[in-house]
Amino acid sequence: MPQRIVAGNWKMNGSRDFAAAYLAALAGDVLPGSGCDVLLFPPATLLPLLATRVEELGIELGIQTVHPEPEGAFTGEIAAEMAVDAGATWTLIGHSERRQLLGESDADTALRALAARRAGLKPMLCVGETLVERQGGDAESVVTRQLDAVLDVLGEDLAAGGIAYEPVWAIGTGETASPEMAQAMHGMIRGVLRRRSARLAEMPILYGGSVKPANAAALFAEVDIDGALVGGASLDPAAFQAIIKAMETHGNP
Ligand code: PGA
């Protein structure tokens, strides 16, 4: 069975005070022993602070992106090795905000995924179509292209991480893909992975895009939805915990 994961993507939000209060709110309730893996992707500045508490809370940390190179004259960038040094064990790869706002191409995602594995980070590869692509009937081909770009360079090594299907039109908009719509794409993704190898087919496939306590349970009941990558709602520890609980209760065994 694929690993079950609930991940919080804080994006460019949070301070040291916010992180300390957040951890205090998480401690003593759901974690540890939540029945699924819990990951947080805070801004890189907060990794060292959060890293001091991960063992006690039973969570893992990730960085939101890594630069392809291990070091050098790349002002403002962070290498995968530096993320490991700061306490990360995961990294997002190809989040749609980076693809759309920062022009990250499929080729870039492949290089960043290679860098992640070079440093021993687990890649969470984000894929998803825009509204125009969905309306044009291209959703599946876009997602397949985004998957193939990384699978072609990493092959089975991608199985160290996970996939997050995040339709761009559902991110931060309050619009969620219906459970059936999400399941259809997750099943398609599972098929792409299975055609490559049995090990890849066992990868966790997370859904992302306006996941909230109110819609999490129905999404998690779908057979190929192994978790969630949660943006906005992950900034509220009570909402994030409620989503973790929904996974415990309604997730696939
Ligand atoms: P959202 O973001 O939950 O705020 O829609 C999800 C994401 O971008 O990972």
Q: Which residues are catalytic?
A: 95, 166
Nearest to 70 by CA among 62, 60, 80: 80
Per the structure, the complete domain to which residue 213 belongs is given by: 5-250
pLDDT digits (tens, 9 = 90+) for 105-116: 999 999 999 999
121 CB within 6 A, ligand 1: no
In Å, the largest CA–CA distance within the chain is 48
Q: Give this prediction's pTM.
A: 0.96
pLDDT digits (tens, 9 = 90+) for 183-229: 999 999 999 999 999 999 999 999 999 999 999 999 999 999 999 99
Report d(CA 67, CA 27) in Å as an integer. 32
Report d(CA 87, CA 53) in Å as an integer. 10
Nearest to 239 by CA among 46, 29, 44, 50: 29
pLDDT at 77: 98
Domains of the chain: total: 1
pLDDT at 249: 83
176 CB within 6 A, ligand 1: no
Report d(CA 32, CA 232) in Å as an integer. 22
- CATH number assigned to the domain comprising residue 139: 3.20.20.70
166 CB within 6 A, ligand 1: yes
Ligand 1 atom with the smallest distance to the CA of 234 is: 3
How many whole angstroms from 233 Cα to the centroid of ligand 1? 8
